[in-house]
Amino acid sequence: MECVGVRFAHGPKIYDYRFSNQAPPLGSWVVVKTARGLELAKVRTEPHLGHAVGEIVRIATPADLEQHSKLKNRAEEVHWWLKARLRREGVRAKVLGCEFTLDGNHISVQYSAEERIDLRRWVNELNKLAGARVEFVALGPRDQTAYLGTLGACGMESCCSKWLQDFAQVSIKMARDQQLPLSPEKISGPCGRLLCCLQYEHEQYQELLAELPRKNSKACSLQGTCGKVAKLNPLAGTVELLTEEGSTVTVHKSELRWD
């Protein structure tokens, strides 16, 4: 099925939507039909074959864009009202954002909380304030970072808010294989979880490590210097041997032998 990829206001994820007749231009705003109702999205890819999750209703008109702007202002009012109410009642939750559907009949409230909480006690008040059906959506630490956007340790916008489509599994072993310090401050992202970028080069590190002896194993240089492998340098292709005399010798893998 021919479709185009569209992106919504928050987060980098691109969803495929089918279109009728002519494809909407790249970079144009379109009105799409979702499970919540009509929503505004931006076309981010050229037409391609894919599995569409919905349908593009039309290219957004000036009236649609104006309606979206008005609803955005209304959503801000709901956001600050709920934020103030949570603070007043001592509820430990963070309101991340509120979003109306284009018809104004549905509002989604994104929030995060360290403990499980029930916000439904304010549904009736919010219904009257927003004039719409209210949906609460809890976001975890990684989804929260993707939703709000932030800077990563590299100084660039975080991958999850810029382009990352899915969260891959990341483990502490990836940091060990890359010889990184295991301090949480060094290998954690703004979300407090392990850096997503640990996975990017892990496969290459595994290939390089396969050409080296294991740490703490015994190895010898072709010159006859033997010792315990104290440190691996996979990018340089070297290891540091700790000899029985207590000295450290750096040896290239081409000059090493081990079992």
Q: What are 149-208's pLDDT values in tens digits? A: 888 888 889 999 899 998 889 999 999 999 898 899 889 998 899 999 999 999 999 999
* Cα-trace Rg, the chain: 26
Supply the pTM of this predicted model: 0.79
Name residue 186's amino acid: K
pLDDT at 120 > cutoff 90: no
- Rounded CA separation 224/78 (Å): 74
Task: Give yes or no for a contact between 38 and 101, defined as CB atoms under 8 angstroms apart.
Answer: yes
Task: Give yes or no for a contact between 98 and 136, defined as CB atoms under 8 angstroms apart.
Answer: no
For 51-108, write each residue's pLDDT tens digit: 999 999 999 999 999 999 999 999 999 999 999 999 998 888 999 999 999 999 999 9
pLDDT of residue 89: 87
Measured CA to CA in angstroms, residue 7 lies from 17, 27, 28 at distances of 10, 10, 11
pLDDT of residue 203: 94
pLDDT at 213 > cutoff 90: yes
